[in-house]
Amino acid sequence: MTHTHAPYRIDHVGSFLRPAALVQAREDFAAGKISQADLTKVENRAIRDLVEKEIAAGLKSVTDGEFRRAYWHLDFFWGFGGIDHVQAAQGYQFHDETTKADSALVIGKITGANHPFVEHYKFLRDLVADVDGVEPKYTIPAPAQFYFELIRDAEHVEQLNTIYPDFAAVREDIKQAYLQVIQDLYDAGLRTLQVDDCTWGVLVDDNFLTAWGAAQGKSKDEVRRELADLFLTFNNDVYQNVPAGLTVNTHVCRGNFHSTWASSGGYAPIAKELLGEEAVNAYFLEFDTDRAGGFEPLAEVTPGKGVVLGLLTSKSGQLENKDEVIARIKEASQYVPLENLYLSTQCGFASTEEGNILTEEDQWKKIGLIKEIVAEVWGE
């Protein structure tokens, strides 16, 4: 794919801490105290304010902060036809906490017509239509992440097999649903799409794979290879068929909920599929802790692709040591040319509406530090 849009040297994953007024409005809406129209007005004001702050911070790629969502992924799934908002048996387990039990269940043919995210994008688009040097990017979860949600537990699998006894049919409908939404976004003017994907972050974790494999009588390595091939298939079904002129980047992390994490492991076991075979323009990769391993797997990155180094953490307000970050950028440049490297936090500041444990001031200081480092390393 031709690199004509994001990533930018100073970049970010996309989600930002929700302001207090928005948090209160969403609570009031859930309690039936205000209407959808009232909530939308609050969301609109919050997004306008956020976009102004993003531009003031020097970001060339702006988002709506995911302010209209409760989750980075589930709200998108709920926008498909044939998908219901349900409660799972339990939430996802993170290192120190468990998420709410919201989930997505297939109840009919999966379709992508009239997805609400298209109108959400148009609002963002119009906010920056007259701002030179700034473009709106939109974030959605990966096709593999969608399928992973549909096989989340035994009940989900049983329901999926009831609606879709033929695997080829569900694969095709997921592909077509995604391509419908992406085409609608493209027709509305979107030229940079970021696809967020935690499935790869799961596949590096030996503990998860051992448990998953035990239930199927398979080794962790067998499970890793099967799932890596499966997830790559779902993703490339879509990525290889997007409209010409659309830049597709992907973001990979190991979980980001209320400053906790879900999995551990370096990229090496899945580097071939992810970094060598996935049909994307660039990768936003988590590298803020030892849980992500070293830079050696970057040798698998297809020549010419970009890598956004997530060297600053969004989980804490403590600022990183600038010299240490610069040293790590230089280390990474042994595997990917410096001109193909970019800088961001490892994930967003609020992958869910709860947000991470830091202040709004802290998050902008992180962006400011990225800007300082970029100026020193790349002179930009």
How does strand 138-141 pair with strand 192-197? Answer: parallel
Residue-wise pLDDT for 327-337, tens only, equals 999 999 999 99
Pair 61, 11: CB distance under 8 Å: yes
Q: State the pTM of this model.
A: 0.95
How many Å separate Cα 164 from the centre of its chain? 27
236: number of CA atoms within 13 Å, CB side?
13
pLDDT value for 262? 66
Pair 318, 366: CB distance under 8 Å: no
Instruction: Return the CATH architecture of domain 20-378.
Output: Alpha-Beta Barrel (3.20)
Q: What is the DSSP letter of 273?
A: I
pLDDT value for 6? 86
Q: Where are the domains of the chain?
A: 20-378
Q: Along the chain (380 residues), what's the average pLDDT of each consecutive run of 10 residues?
A: 70 98 97 98 98 97 98 97 91 74 95 98 97 96 97 93 97 98 98 96 86 80 93 98 97 82 83 97 95 95 97 96 98 98 97 93 98 96
337: number of CA atoms within 13 Å, CB side?
6
